[in-house]
Homo-oligomer: A and B are copies of this chain.
Amino acid sequence: MAEFFRVLTPIDAWAKLAEHYRPALQVEEVATFAALDRFLAETPLAPHDLPQFARSTVDGYAVRARDTFGASSSLPAFLDVVGEVAMGRQAEVTLGVGQAALVHTGGMIPAGADAVVMVENTQRADEHSIEVLSAAAVGENVIQVGEDVRQGDVIVEAGHRLRPQDIGGLLALGFVRVRVARPPRVALISTGDEVIPPDQTPGPGQVRDINSYTLALLAQRAGAEPVLFGIIPDRREALEEAVRSALAGCDLVVLSAGSSVSYRDMSAEVIAGMGAPGVLAHGISIRPGKPTIVAVTQNKPVFGLPGNPVSAMVLFDLLVAPAIRLALGGRPFAEHQPQVRARLARQINSAAGREDHVQVRLEERAGELWAVPVFGKSNLIYTLVRADGVVRVPLHSLGLEQGAWVGVSLYA
């Protein structure tokens, strides 16, 4: 199986995958209000200006700015109040010289007016007129037509993952339905004769399945629809059958468990048998997670992740989630990675040519934030449960000193 032993760096493994995996976007239309966290599959243009009429941002009097020039509390401008603009209605008055109209926040600016004086800067003179105590500039306290968005403007770009405010923006322009990417189906296949479902009691030598569920939920968060194929015994025909059926019904396939060499070789052979280009990387220069298979067959990515939970999660975040986002028409990698800055509580040794992902817990010590490595073996699920996030030691670094400031990517 030596031909398969192609250990690639994380970046090269991704590049190989992206070279061979060209997903066709699948689109569906949904109610905009139900599209939170979905990936937009179109680039809608504003069908009209927003706002469609000039609006007041305050309670006050719509005026002609020039009528207030030079006004002050010692020398107020006197204006005739010729009406009140009702909310949600056409402003029916038209201001002439020396005239004003009462407007409320959000109300329409009447014809002839070009500014609003806040009610706090006015004083009633008599029943029909006011004193304006400070000059208004043209446009003051007014939102102009199209100031929010102009007709024909791009609203949100295709590929963007919709946030609450994006949905607000779409609805403000009347887009009550939108076209979004259909979630790709991600098959999760756990293997191992020692693995049993979580609702069973393990006998000697048996352990409950963890990865099917953890990886399914990570896939769901990334925007996919997870499809659990259950636990497959360590036999070639069983694995072959499972992978074939996963490829038939799903868009991406994730195998997990079976970290033994013979199992990995068997997985690689089974994947290779499904068609070109087959296995692209057999081994990634990363710790934990080296024994990873990256493949593309039938234009679908197939990942063989290590069976231990920490490695599986590291590799999922590194390669599987980006592939899911690619299938959704999104950016595979976030442009900006928000982090918490903390000091490293223990030295981390690395090796040049290997990227290390170290699970850490955050701890406040004497007013400073410290990142404490959770040095469990990568076979332990509680290494992940106890971790607040992860510190990455780059490929060419030999490690990080104790006390060094590091960026911690938090687990949400």
Residues of chain A at the chain B interface (Cβ within 8 Å) = 32-33, 36, 50-53, 55, 57, 59, 85-91, 104-108, 119, 143, 147-149, 155-156, 163-169, 171-176, 192-196, 198-199, 201-211, 213-218, 220-221, 234, 259-262, 307-309, 313, 335-340, 362, 369, 376-377, 379-385, 387-388, 408-412
Contacts and interface: CB of A to CB of B under 8 A. Distances in A.
A312 to B, nearest CB: 9
A91 B147 CA distance: 74
Given A259-B106, A376-B148, A381 B165 contact: yes
A319 B107 CA distance: 28
A205 to B, nearest CB: 4
Given A57-B379, A379-B57, A165 B309 contact: yes
B379 A207 contact: no
B214 A262 contact: no
Contacts of A234: 87
B57 A207 contact: no
29 contacts: A36-B220, A36-B221, A50-B381, A53-B204, A55-B207, A59-B262, A88-B192, A88-B195, A88-B203, A88-B205, A106-B192, A106-B260, A106-B307, A108-B205, A147-B376, A156-B385, A164-B218, A164-B313, A165-B309, A165-B411, A166-B385, A172-B210, A172-B381, A174-B199, A176-B198, A176-B199, A335-B362, A336-B369, A338-B338
B379 A309 contact: no
Does more than half of chain A's interface fall in helix, strand or loop, or is it mixed?
loop
